[in-house]
Amino acid sequence: MTEKNSELTERKWLIFQTFSGKEKKAFVAAQKVIKEHGLEDVVEPLLPTEFISKVVTKGRGDKKEKVRVNIEKPIYRGYLFVGVKGDKELINKVANLLAETRLMRALTKRDEKTGEPIYAFLKEEEVEELKKKIEIEQQKKEQKVPYLEGERVKVLIGDYEGMIGTVDEVYPQKRKLKVLIHLLNRTTPIYIDFDGVEKAG
């Protein structure tokens, strides 16, 4: 387990809801608040993102052309997570401080007897899933490729246009992929440029 993954496991991860499309702004605000109150050693905001490679059309009329762009997007729209190493008092303090930014609020429900907030935390299996997604995106950055083996992609050109397949092999130097298309109980491999596919929704 990497040091980063170990930290993910050690912390209690609060779930914060924010405005869809404002995740990055909320994340930066959370970082600022945590630093201002000297909590960097025990509190960590986390905004998991993924790099989506898409083909878009630019220009007008005869000057239209398709180009590939890489877009960084939150994996969980409308949410970010805050890891806290500490007791309930610290958790309450962090939740209140971040709520004061008016950009986010911790997901809670009220205890019917005491009126105290009961916070929503990521479950252990959700933390594991989060770690895997972070590792995949880190691999993409390190290998400088838009796709990894096992990812589902949508074919944009050729005889299999519009079909969903699975990346079987990646050839970074040639900027090509081997994609497996499953159709009528048969698996057909195709070789296609990076620009010929996009991540399946």
Q: Which two tokens stand for residue 2?
A: 């990497």
Phi then psi dihedrals of residue 22, to 5 deg = -110, 15
pLDDT digits (tens, 9 = 90+) for 83-105: 999 999 999 999 999 999 999 99
Taking 90 as the threshold, does the pLDDT of residue 132 lie above it?
no
Average pLDDT over residues 108-115: 89
Q: How far is CA 167 from CA 79, 83, 146, 197, 201, in A?
A: 29, 33, 11, 10, 15
Query: Looking at residue 194, what DSSP letter applies?
Result: G
Band the pLDDT of 1: cuts 50, 70, 90. very low
Listed in sequence order, the residues at least 6 apart from 47 whose beta carbon sits closer than 8 Å to its beta carbon are: 23, 24, 27, 74, 80, 81
Give residue-wise pLDDT tens across range 149-192. 888 999 998 999 999 999 999 988 888 999 999 988 899 999 99
Q: Mean pLDDT across the stretch 100-112? A: 94
Domains annotated for the chain, with CATH where assigned, are: 3-49+75-143 (3.30.70.940), 152-199 (2.30.30.30)
Quote the mean pLDDT of the chain. Answer: 87
* CB distance 159 to 147 below 8 Å: no
Residue 68's pLDDT band (cuts 50, 70, 90): low
